[in-house]
Amino acid sequence: MSLNFENELIDGRILRAVKDMGFTEFSPIQEQAIPHLLEGKDIIGQAQTGTGKTAAFGIPTIQKIDPDIRKLQAIILCPTRELAIQAAEELRKLAKYMHGIKVLPVYGGADIGRQISGLKGVQIVVGTPGRVMDHMRRHTLKLDDVKMVVLDEADEMLNMGFREDMELILGEIKNEHQTALFSATMPKPILEITGKFQKDAELVKVASKELTIPLVSQRYYRIKNQDKDAATVRILEYYQPKLCLIFCNTKKKVDELTSLLKEKDFQAEGLHGDLSQYQRDVAMGRFRSGTTNILIATDVAARGIDVDDVEAVINYDLPQDIEYYVHRIGRTGRAGRTGRSFTFVSGREIYKLREIERVCHTTVEEKTLPTASKVMRVKAEKAMTQALLNKESEDFELMKKFISKKMEEEELDALDMAAAFLKCYVGEIGEDIAVEEAPRRRERRSERGRDGERRDGGRRDRGRGDNRRDGGRPERSEDGRRRRDSHGDDRRGEGRSDKEQKRHVFQVEKRERRPRKEDVRRDGSPYTKGKGRSIMDALPKKKKRDN
């Protein structure tokens, strides 16, 4: 079924709210999911963050709510408090003209007493599995009238250990209801949940080629681990994004990088799970309002960050899971806008990046970091542009008098004076950051030997051909011994490395030094090998001293 803004399938009041939000057409996931949900079917939706999943389940959910019934009618489960808050805000916007519909986010870390009092008369609850379970145990959530359940970012809830909570919540809803599950990936445990709790579910899938948003310019830089901080500063100074997200794999690195950027006079905030709810709310509020233009976060803490004006994403660390790359990149290039992503790659991480490209059906272009001189030129251009904006100010003539007087005192011309002011703003030119050399692939043992020579058929060259004759037997001298070279080495040693060859020569010479039956003692008497005798017997005896 085709879906458009003139379609009578969707309530006109919801469409009016959607237009107020600035949207003029439905995204692919919305076009596919909304008709099925409005028809009462269960669905499995596969799409990444930023493709409009919230509206895909939010529009049908709101349309199915009866505002006259002041009881819980829909539950939406999200992996994190940030995502729950974000989804609840979007649902409220969609229900802007649907009077009587009440939406409440519930999550851990907040005063449960206030949540309990706020649950009265609520029709839609958006919450994390743990806190929803807590309210169910307290009997503050009544499930008798629930007719819609949504699992948003189901794969992430699975990764965070919420599978048991998800199954318990779904199992407690006994009455007839719809279940919609949305996930960026579909691992086996997700499919097991759908098979157990859904009935004849329709699969709604954004094609894999759409998993990485094409409007995002993706590039990577080969740098050493110790140069990542300097590279981050270099990118921020050169591109000067209005809003930028930086992803790190550890909470410790989030804190360290946040402190470093603040020291460099950047407006930066950190976001991770060890922060209190108040600290996280403050950080997100500053980022959304633009007071802070750089947000540094871990993957889990970043769930629910839904800011349309993010211009750049920096992958300080490569994500631990491939699907996280899709989640990160999806934070920019939204709503038809273009965006940039920058990824730092060190050592053998390049092979992991190649795997990301293969799985995500995308290409990440290798680039070199902007040089220090380029960064200085950009900073100087910005300074001069800002300075010219002050040309019309009231005290501009007074400033000219100050400068003129100083120029006379110091015997400077106008260019010297302007360059001095510009230098104060721009600062010192930094050092260029070296590009890390690409790691060498290890040769397979079956293809190359230790000496780097190619082996025929994957086997070590034993000196066939010149060193063998008559059926491949080794050449022998007339006395029946193997023919040796001038060093006493076996001719079959041509395939050995220098180290192996020296060891072999030493052992051969050692054998040559051993007395044989035909040898004689140093005193001229014959030597015969017998029982209880040793090589030492071949040596002359020392005379005993008389005491």
Question: Which pLDDT tens digit goes with each residue over 66-100?
Answer: 999 999 999 999 988 888 988 999 999 999 999 99
Residue matched to tokens 């030493």: 506
Class of domain 216-371: alpha beta
101-105, 121-125, 273-277, range with the lowest pLDDT: 273-277
- Given a cut of 60, whether residue 403 has pLDDT beyond it is yes
Q: Phi/psi at 218 (nearest 5 deg)?
A: -110, 130
Query: Tokens standing for 70?
Result: 């002041």
Query: Tokens standing for 524?
Result: 């001229």
Q: Are 253 and 228 in contact (CB under 8 A)?
A: no
More confident: 543 or 392: 392
The contacts of residue 50 (CB under 8 Å, 6+ apart) are 213, 306, 330, 331, 333, 334
Alpha-carbon gap, residue 264 to 242, rounded angstroms: 17
Alpha-carbon gap, residue 495 to 453, rounded angstroms: 9
More confident: 465 or 45: 45
Query: Tokens standing for 534?
Result: 């040793």
Beta bridge partners of 73: none
Query: Number of H helices and number of E strands within the chain?
Result: 18, 16
How far is residue 111 CA from its own chain's centroid?
33
Q: Phi/psi at 161 (nearest 5 deg)?
A: 85, 25
Alpha-carbon gap, residue 278 to 401, rounded angstroms: 50
Helix (H) or strand (E) holding 81: helix 81-94
Superfamily for domain range 12-206: P-loop containing nucleotide triphosphate hydrolases (3.40.50.300)
- Tens digits of per-residue pLDDT, 482-502? 444 444 444 444 455 666 666
| Burial class for 363, CB neighbours closer than 10 Å (0-12, 13-18, 19+) | exposed
Q: Are 319 and 249 in contact (CB under 8 A)?
A: yes
Among candidate residues 387, 404, 95, 386, the one with its CA nearest the CA of residue 240: 386
Q: Are 361 and 211 in contact (CB under 8 A)?
A: yes
Check: pTM over 0.85? Answer yes or no: no
The contacts of residue 160 (CB under 8 Å, 6+ apart) are 79, 300
- Tens digits of per-residue pLDDT, 323-340? 788 878 877 766 566 789
Radius of gyration of the chain (CA): 37
What is the DSSP pairing of strand 468-469 with strand 178-183? unpaired
Q: Are 371 and 221 in contact (CB under 8 A)?
A: no
Helix (H) or strand (E) holding 406: helix 396-410
Alpha-carbon gap, residue 539 to 75, rounded angstroms: 96
- Given a cut of 60, whether residue 369 has pLDDT beyond it is yes
84-93, 217-226, 435-444, 501-510, range with the lowest pLDDT: 435-444
Among candidate residues 308, 311, 299, 298, the one with its CA nearest the CA of residue 257: 298
What is the DSSP pairing of strand 473-474 with strand 468-469? antiparallel
pLDDT band (50, 70, 90) for residue 196: very high
What percentage of residues in the chain have a pLDDT greater than 90? Answer: 37
Alpha-carbon gap, residue 110 to 113, rounded angstroms: 9
- Given a cut of 90, whether residue 36 has pLDDT beyond it is yes
AA identity, residue 118: G
192-201, 204-213, 340-349, 377-386, range with the lowest pLDDT: 204-213
111-115, 130-134, 332-336, 524-528, range with the lowest pLDDT: 524-528
Q: Name the H helices within 411-540.
A: 414-426, 498-513
Among candidate residues 17, 85, 95, the one with its CA nearest the CA of residue 285: 85
Residue matched to tokens 């969609």: 94
CATH 3.40.50.300 range(s) for the chain read 12-206, 216-371
Three-state SS at 482 = strand
Helix (H) or strand (E) holding 256: helix 251-263
Query: Tokens standing for 133?
Result: 């379970």
pLDDT band (50, 70, 90) for residue 401: confident
Query: Tokens standing for 324?
Result: 């996280």
How far is residue 350 CA from its own chain's centroid?
13
